[in-house]
A and B are shown apart, each in its own frame.
Chain A
Amino acid sequence: MLGLNKKDSKFLIIVILLTLSTPFVMQPFSEASALSQFNGGYPDLMQRVAIFGIFAIGFNILFGLTGYLSFGHAAFLGVGSYSAVWMFKLLSMNIIPGIVLAVIMSGIFALLIGYVSLRRSGIYFSILTLAFAQMSYNLAYSVLTPITNGETGLQVRPSDVRLLDGANAPDYPNLFGWTMSTSYKWEVWGHLFTFNVGFYVCAFIAICAFYLSLRIFRSPFGLMLRAVKSNQNRMSYTGLNPRPYTLAAFVISGMYAGLAGGLLASMDPLAGAERMQWTVGGEVVVMTILGGAGTLLGPVLGAGAIKYLENIFSKINENILHGWFDFLPEGMENFFVWLFARFTGDGWHLTLGLLFMMVVIFLPGGLMEGADRIRKRFGRKSDDNSPSNPAE
């Protein structure tokens, strides 16, 4: 199917089914039940999972295959967002021109930054990308205010030109009239399921992005990228120039980041400089490693896990904690509430940090390695787990 072998086709179908069923899977508890706070927020959260999934898939093409660790991918996310919002302002609220420009602009940016940064490897490369990201952030925040609207962020206004939009075009980002925020609700057995246009647009694009990365992983180009990671010296004595290969990987992953940025702006037509902060670039590094760098599905899992847990943990405030521990004597109750409050709400990053440390120490291959170990434990040894397929 689609130029894939049987195994990969099966794999792709599973991914498609999983993606399309997230509205069900991520909302296992009915709205009325006490456990509803463990539901993944919808549609916002689901959109973010799909978008950050795209971001992480792209990042993995660079980091997972070539081993070049970039801390600067937030810059491309930001460039994508700004480009998309500018298209909304100038051309049309239809998301397609916005997303196309986002991908093109971030590609150009990645080419420039990559060309300079890839003169070095290892830690020096990481530092260079980090420096570029911070430069972009500061430019967006102050110097380039006419383009980025600085601190306030770039927003759409009723007074915008929007050359292509007619008089009665929707005022929100839309796909040929379907606004992204539209939701269709469906109630079954006391469960309320919501189908949101924005989510399905993100999901469709995420599946395409995943398919493309699958093709890259299986292609001779992907093989060369893994060769870059393995032994650059041998590569150049084998007649291959590693530089254009790494640059191509860098640009592709930058374009993925730009696509994610464009989608973020499409879901919520606002672009701020904080999207270019290095912490955003750090987050995608954590997602990729948590899920399993160099595997196909790992980055998506990492993005999903982090966004889902973030949603739950940051929702738990002291009131909820008091509710949980009110069976304890008062002194104990206050102690436990105080203790747990460090790790929830605003303290969510502490939990994430601990989780990340645990994964790196005990599961260096990320969640995918965990899944592999479980599969082996239960004796279902996958038949052709040849090392030539580091994916899955």
Chain B
Amino acid sequence: MGILEVQNVNKSFGGLKALQNVNLSVEEGTIHAIIGPNGAGKSTLLNCFVGKLMPDTGSVLFNGQSLLGKKPYDINQMGVSRVFQTPEIFGDLTVLENVLIPCFAKRDGTFRMHAIETVEDEVDIREKAEKMLIDVDMADNMQMTASSLSRGDKRRLEMAMCLSQDPQLLLLDEPTAGMARADTNNTIGLLARIQERRHITMAIIEHDMHVVFSLAQKISVLAQGTVIVEDLPENIKGHPKVKEAYLGEAAE
């Protein structure tokens, strides 16, 4: 059984059936890509994992525990981190503070009132955050305000924030959207390195086939709200159903 088990998930918005009987299984320690044409329901599916959307029927199990009806912060505390399509960071704070916050969250839970000790005195947390930033080559920018980073750096910062929590499952929503080729390759390198070093399970939603085929160990193809194929990368490329979904041959 996989670390993330999605069974028979249905979700409609009014008359639109966004997800129909979606089944998905993400194996521990692998990178699992979810691809599909625009409007296939990829983001809807991801939002069902993190507590943003509630499926109409079906179940989402993480390590055997249901994620449905839980709040995003509780799901994160269970070990699921998420990287957004447009980087969600704390723009007004420094790069270092951005990483300190998830470190505190990991140690102290959803709420803790520690107003007396100073951030400076929390040596362990600071060391952990600084090490994380060195890991993603951002040590020089620690005191910069996060909003002044370049887009690629913002994304790297967001990944550092997620990774500093040692998640069991990392969800990435189009991690290379809008990036130049060089940045895309950097991101691929970074993700591959993370996976190799930390064995974090990842589920990636991606448009860019170059990224998908460089990283994924397994691919699910989503079209019109259903998973049409789930297979190894080498079997996906020439698959007739996938071609059909992308190129629109022989409409049903």
Contacts and interface: CB of A to CB of B under 8 A. Distances in A.
Given A224-B104, A241-B110, A241-B111, A3 B118 contact: yes
Contact of A220 (B73, B102, B110, B119): B119
B91 to A, nearest CB: 6
A237 interface: yes
Given A234-B89, A387-B145, A224 B101 contact: yes
A239 B97 contact: no
B19 interface: no
A223 B116 contact: no
B70 to A, nearest CB: 11
B110 A240 contact: yes
A219 B119 contact: yes
B114 interface: yes
Contacts of B144: 387
Contacts of B113: 221, 248
A82 B120 CA distance: 40
Contact of A5 (B77, B118, B145): B118
A389 to B, nearest CB: 10
Nearest to A226: B93
B212 interface: no
A223 B119 contact: yes
Contacts of A229: 92
Given A218-B120, A229-B92, A223 B101 contact: yes
A227 B118 contact: no
A386 B145 CA distance: 9
B96 to A, nearest CB: 7
B88 A219 contact: no
B224 interface: no
Interface string A372-392: 000000000000001110000
B249 interface: no
Contacts of B226: none
A230 B91 contact: yes
Question: What 7 pairs across the A-B complex have the smallest Cβ distances?
Answer: A239-B76, A221-B115, A230-B90, A239-B105, A241-B110, A234-B88, A218-B118
9 contacts: A220-B104, A230-B90, A235-B90, A239-B110, A240-B111, A241-B111, A244-B110, A386-B143, A388-B93
